[in-house]
Chain A
Amino acid sequence: MQTKSAARNIFYGGSLFFLVIFIGLTANSHKYIRNTSTNAETLNESVVRGKRIWERKACINCHTILGEGAYYAPELGNVFVRYGGKDDAQGAKDAIKAWMQAQPSGIEGRRQMPDFKLTDPELEDLANFLEWVSTIDTQGWPPTDAG
């Protein structure tokens, strides 16, 4: 009986202890994201609209973003960088839009991306979102531009 109630108390006490530490570190990380690793000034309405398009088209169920998603299609957290956005931001955004508009490729034996029929302003928002995401400080990940 004694060892069981001891085990129970260790479980409750210890779990609470680790939960409090976890919440504290999350609060600290919340501040860090706000102030250090992401750019609040460039997080404008267009970027947020782009994120909503990303969500309502369920892009994450083929692609990954910062490594999380479905592994069926390329990583998009750094697609802006991969398209040369560091040297030519407008060129990279135009290339992303042109890619979106050229889908589906219809090539036999190649994975197909649907035509999401986005309007020009929507494409602009999505490209802005992908540009903003590429500015997140991800501790150097991914290791190569291939994503």
Chain B
Amino acid sequence: MKYQSQKVAFWYFGAAMALFAIQVLVGAIMGYIYVAPNFMSELIPFNIFRMLHTNALIVWLLLGFFGAAYYLIPEEAERDIESPMLAYGQLILLVVGTLGAVLTYVFNFAEGNVVFGQQGREFLEQPLWVKLGIIVAALVFLYNITMTVLKGRKTAVSNVLLLGLWGVALFFLFSLYNPGNLSLDKMYWWYVVHIWVEGVWELVMAAILAFLMLKLTGIDREIIEKWIYAIVALALFTGLLGTGHHYYWIGTPGYWQWIGSVFSALEIVPFLAMVVFAFMMVWKGGRDHPNKAAVLWALGSTVLAFFGAGVWGFMHTLAPVNFYSHGTQITAAHGHLAFFGAYVSMNLAMITYAMPYLRKSEPYNQISNMISFWLMAGGMSFMTITLTFAGIIQTHLQRVNGEDFMSVQEQLGVFYWMRLGSGIVFVIGALLFIYATFGPKKVRA
């Protein structure tokens, strides 16, 4: 840690990991409800757990991104953060908003209220006041980081990271638009959801990966920055029109079946490029960085993202395939591995890299951390495969044979049991990770 103000990142990572723990525990409960559906059904119904599961994920990934930015921007810009006070204020705002959202979901108070009521569109359920709070927090963040970069050294890494985070804030504004026409609602809803996860978030991911490669491999900055521009170019060239793969069956024109199929099929390319980039840098760099766990997470992230987002995405993205598979457990399988590989793992890579510096020690608990990688990667891969099998059977029975949804689901029990098992392995891995990074540290020799 070269700059005192980087310390801000510690609190962002801490808040992120607290939400990560909540997210995976709620996930395990939901996995149990799938096999024992009466569990808690009168107390907290499934839909409330689902809101907690997805929202906790989204917020903690964003907290992780903000923390990563506060950690890496000073080193890139070669100066302290413009205002650490603002950074702490932003975090408090986000934590208050998160708690507000949780209470709103669980108790559904102020139902129907324009400002305080839960808004009920998938992933964007936050009440209006929380959404506005998120926007204010984003503006504070962007001001803080942009000023830091403008007054300091400008690099491709900070450039791409900033552009990605400006995009996050800009496209989030579409969450405020909710027309009465469901088709219009859905079309613009994807402006937030797709353009975040298959657009601007990839910029953030690539920037963090590039920063880690700079630090972990010692490869020349010039080479790394060339790669990063190529990767993010591929991401946006394919990802923007790739939004079309969500516009097949929601009332949008038929031409999206062509545009969506072609461009989203190519969305695998930037993920492949990230794999090639990361492995080549580590291989050519030849630096034996002491933080082996960070290297493992960075490399692992690119591979898991390639399979989860790339391969599993491609599997059901072509319109004639998607016609049958759309909205089945195949989608759930893809969603889990894609988010874990691309965004969870890259965040954990950054946290693994930064925590020893933030806590002023040598890399510690490397073995536990690396075991947690294999538990999480293994658990999530197995979960993805069980859900894929469930999804294939569901697609055939329901979408080809036309069997009733619930009677199909009742035939999938064995897969949901296996999913629960792999989920529990994942939870153990996640808790072990948090222990390994935030638990007792080795004293500097």
Q: Which residues of A line the B interface, CB within 8 A?
A: 1, 3-4, 7-8, 10-11, 14-15, 18-19, 21-22, 25-26, 28-30, 32-34, 36-38, 40, 43, 47-48, 51-52, 54-62, 64-75, 104, 108-114, 132-133, 136-147
The contact of B406 among A8, A21, A29, A74, by CB within 8 Å, is A74
Asked whether B38 lies within 8 Å of A109 as measured between CB atoms, the reply is yes
A58-B125, A67-B327 known; A4-B252 Cβ under 8 A? no
A15 touches B240 (CB 8 A): yes
Q: What are 14 A-B contacts defined by CB distance under 8 Å? A: A4-B222, A11-B232, A15-B233, A15-B236, A18-B237, A18-B241, A29-B252, A32-B252, A55-B119, A60-B47, A60-B122, A64-B327, A110-B406, A139-B257
Which 4 residue pairs of A and B lie closest in terms of their CB atoms, listed nearest first? A55-B120, A67-B327, A61-B47, A144-B402
Query: Once bound together, how far apart are the Cα atoms of A140 and B248, in whole Å?
Result: 10
| Cβ–Cβ < 8 Å partners of A64 in chain B | 327
What are the residues of chain B within 8 A of A18 when measuring CB–CB? 236-237, 240-241
Are B182 and A133 interface neighbours, CB within 8 A?
A: yes
Does B166 sit at the interface, judged by CB under 8 A?
A: no
Please pick, from B46, B120, B184, B226, the residue contacting A57 in the complex, using a CB distance under 8 A.
B120
Interface contact B328-A71, CB-CB below 8 Å: yes
In whole Å, how far is B99's beta carbon from the nearest beta carbon of chain A?
Answer: 18
B183 at the binding interface (Cβ < 8 Å): yes
**Minimum C-beta distance from B27 to chain A (A):** 13
**A62:B326 contact, CB within 8 angstroms:** no
Q: Which residues of B contact A (CB under 8 A)?
A: 34, 36-38, 41-42, 45-48, 50-51, 105, 108, 111-112, 117-122, 125, 156, 159, 178, 180-187, 222, 225-226, 229-230, 232-233, 236-237, 240-241, 243-244, 247-257, 259, 323-324, 326-329, 331-332, 398-406, 408-409
**Min CB gap A132→B, angstroms:** 8
Give chain B nearest CB distance to A99 CB in angstroms.
12
The CA-CA distance from A30 to B252 in the complex, in Å, is 8
A29: chain B residues within 8 A (beta carbon):
187, 247, 252-253, 256
A113 to B324, CA, bound (A): 26
* Residues of chain B with a CB closer than 8 A to A114's CB: 41-42, 45
Within the complex, what minimum Cβ distance (angstroms) separates A72 from chain B? 6
CA distance A66 to B37 in the complex (A): 24
A62 touches B46 (CB 8 A): yes
Contact A37 B251 (CB under 8 A): yes
Chain A residue nearest to B193 in the complex (CB): A68
Could you tell me if B122 and A104 are in contact, using CB atoms closer than 8 angstroms? Answer: no
Q: A21-B241, A111-B46 are known contacts. Are A37 and B398 too (CB-CB below 8 A)? A: no
Query: Please, how many angstroms separate the alpha-carbon atoms of A114 and B48 in the complex?
Result: 11
B402 contacts across to A, CB distance below 8 A: 144-146
B46 touching A143 by the CB < 8 A rule? no
The answer to whether A30 and B184 have CB atoms under 8 Å apart is yes
Which residues of chain A are within 8 angstroms of B331 by Cβ–Cβ distance? 71
Decide: A37 and B252 in contact? CB cutoff 8 A. Answer: yes
Q: Which of chain A's residues have a CB closer than 8 A to the CB of B156? A: 4, 8
